[in-house]
Structure 1
């Protein structure tokens, strides 16, 4: 198992530009902070669209890009959140607030940041394909990570809710089996906690309500996230994978455990869609749908 020796930041500017709110990015599974063809292209797109050019802080979990990529599979999510919180607190450019954009699993990780680490303040949280009610399936491997993904699948098969798997496999920590809901709520080390399914934490709700907008992007042709409705906080009904419970019919919303009902009533939750596969959006779609939330 990977031993993490450090966490550093990959960023595009040394000093923040006055008059433009900073932006924090968190990549998805199998990706890294600084790949020029993934987040690197997003950074360049944002820089072309916003004037003045904003300070952009792309989280890198590890001492190099390889560690960052591997930690997206094998570093306990709670440890990742703790380290990321320390990095954000130490970054003076973020002290007055920042917009956050999470890609795939980076979406729910940044939501955990909002709930657990309200300082520096998060202005808008943009989740692009984040699995906020978890996943129940691991169908396709991103990029060149076939060997790693096969290992992950084997661990999930052996026992997703075994303590060793929960403590060391990222994807197991947001795996929700609708046929084992009681077990999931009892042993899930990450998702069940941030979704208030075990012990209610009033601070999680208070902190999430501090953000301006929660922007949720669902990919209509998603072949990676099952069910893709999780990207809008929907999920399978208990013991029934033929039925989806949308956010507004869920106990999370009805009991307002995270303040999502309040935010929705205030029109602060934006439900966006892309008629494409997972994270396969065009530059123009990003410009039309995401850039407006990055403008002060």
Structure 2
């Protein structure tokens, strides 16, 4: 278990890099801007002034009058950060759904923006809690097919990385680890596919790896757009293909496949194939490391989906 905690700490997302100001993005149709809901990544919190706080402030500056809610899971910032490591993801999603349903400012709908693990958590909100309605889901470096690897590996420490990965795989699907470590709930082992499908408390469920939940499928397709951002120089997420819903081919840990090549897509277990054909899936790339981008890139590529 200690190895897994080390993994969690290593995986914590780096600070977002936002630079110089740009012209304000005008909301031109005469109506109030659509609210935005943010969910931070691992090791971060709702209101960190150099990450989520800065993102919230920037959106408010660029879209005057917009309401931005940065989700806090817990009673305070410390609890929010700790829960990103240790609170059952399903409970976190349920908590978020309650917060959204009880917020009168969101009753007409909202756009959602998730950073790193916050992206797959918000996708679960879309699938499980369609009221209030989520309009656009923006996934910033989210791991929609999970992770199977250590950050910044193999690098120069391939033997150490492999030893830690082996230790994790001995216990990552135990009931205790699944129930108490967030990252275990989206650890996806392609070498033990049946074990993953049977024991994963969160990811295997929202990815329809077991019986298909038609409600999940219907709710996800209610999105106007599902935008996924992949960081081309990402040294944290392994495999990085997960940020575009791709992953390692089952039964081995070297070759990857795209979303479109996967069984999930070919059987359309989530409705993603239908969404793709309808032009609702958007694949964007940022030429940086994990969660590293400029203010100009954010405004040019993402802000149009917040209207």
Contact kept, 8 Å, 2:147 with 2:186, in 1: the verdict is yes
The question of 1:75 aligning with 2:87 is answered: yes
In the alignment, structure 1 residue 107 sits paired with structure 2 residue 119: yes
Counterparts of 1:1-20 in structure 2, within 5 Å, are 19-20=32-33
1:247 match: 259
Give, in whole Å, the separation in 2 of the partners of 1:114 and 1:154. Answer: 34
Which one of 165, 170, 178 corresponds to residue 190 of structure 2? Answer: 178
Say which SS state the counterpart of residue 205 (structure 1) adopts: helix
Partners of 1:217 and 1:161 in 2: CA distance: 28
> CA offset at residue 124 of structure 1?
0.2
Equivalent pair of 2:112/2:134 in contact (CA under 8 Å): yes
Q: Deviations over 1:55-103 (max 9, x none)?
A: 1111001111010000000000000011111110000100000000000
Aligned mates of 1:105, 1:43 — CA distance in 2: 18
Distance 2:113 2:139 in 1: 6
Contact kept in structure 1, 2:145 and 2:245, CA below 8 Å: yes
Give unpaired runs (5+ residues) of structure 2: 1-29, 153-163
- Could you tell me which residue of structure 1 aligns to residue 48 of structure 2? 35
Instruction: Quote the residue 2:285 is aligned against.
Output: 273
Structure 2 CA distance for partners of 1:153 and 1:251, relative to 1, 3 Å: closer
Question: What is the deviation of 1:158?
Answer: 5.2
- The structure with the greater share of residues assigned to strand is 1
Shift of 1:242: 1.8
2:34 aligned partner: 21
* Separation in 2, partners of 1:263, 1:175: 26
CA distance in 2, matches of 1:198, 1:64: 36
TM-score in terms of structure 2 length: 0.84
Could you tell me which residue of structure 1 aligns to residue 98 of structure 2?
A: 86
- Which stretches of structure 1, 4 residues or more, deviate above 4 A after TM superposition? 152-155
- C-alpha displacement at 1:137, in angstroms? 1.6
1:290 aligns with 2:306: no
Give the RMSD, CA atoms, in angstroms. 1.8
1:156/1:172 contact within 8 Å kept: no
Structure 2 residue aligned with 1:148: none
Contact 1:155 1:165 in 2 (8 A): no
Contact 2:34 2:111 in 1 (8 A): yes
**How far off is 1:138 after superposition?**
3.0
Residue ranges of structure 1 left out of the alignment (5+ in a row): 1-16, 141-151
**Distance apart, 1:157 and its partner CA:** 5.8
Aligned to 1:44: 57
Structure 2 CA distance, aligned partners of 1:68 and 1:278?
21
Q: Deviations over 1:134-185 (max 9, x none)?
A: 0002326xxxxxxxxxxx9898365101110001100000000111111000
Q: Which residue of 1 aligns with 2:77?
A: 65
8 A contact 2:149–2:165 mirrored in 1: no
Superposed CA deviations along residues 180-207 of structure 1, whole A, max 9, x for unmatched, are 1110001000000000001210000000
Q: Give 1:187's match in structure 2, choosing from 199, 205, 222.
A: 199
Give the 3 Å change call, closer, same or farther, for CA 153–89 of structure 1 in structure 2. Answer: farther
Q: Quote how far apart the aligned CAs of 1:241 are.
A: 1.9
> Aligned equivalents of 2:97 and 2:176: distance in 1?
25
Does the CA contact (< 8 Å) of 1:178 and 1:240 recur in 2?
Answer: yes
1:45 deviates by 1.2
| Number of aligned positions between the proteins | 268
Superposed, 1:221-260 pairs within 5 Å as 221-260=233-272
2:212 corresponding residue in structure 1: 200
